[in-house]
Amino acid sequence: EVQLVDSGGGLVQPGGSLRLSCAASGFTVSSNYMTWVRQAPGKGLEWVSVIYSGGNTYYADSVKGRFTISRDNSKNTLYLQMNSLRAEDTAVYYCARVSGSSGWHIDNWGQGTLVTVSS
């Protein structure tokens, strides 16, 4: 069974840093496209970043230069390093697996971890 478990969220001051983790089971992270999607309180879904199976990484303009997506193949875990955090980064962050079957879409999601940026 495919499972994604998000962790690492919490309260951080503006300008601070946080690293989110996503432990995967039931499949191999490095063989798949993996992504982070966030949802601000009471708002819709916003794509944040993706890492391809080959290692290429891409970011939304809103986080480019501040966030870094990576993975640890030995731990089958995805990460999101978030630096220079702003109040507008406050959201639930979901890691997810991307499928390219019949168009790019997300077929499995983590449960989410809440990041709150506030002084």
Interaction site with another protein (CB under 8 A): 35, 37, 44-47, 50, 52, 58, 60, 94, 98-99, 101-112
HEC string for 9-36: CEEECCCCCEEEEEEEECCCHHHCEEEE
Find the shortest distance in angstroms from Cβ 20 to another protein: 14
- DSSP letter at 89 equals G
Cβ closest to another protein, residue 79 vs residue 94: 94
Shortest reach from residue 62's CB to another protein, in Å: 11
Nearest in space to 92 (alpha carbons), one of 42, 54, 50 = 42
Minimum Å gap between C-beta 51 and another protein is: 9
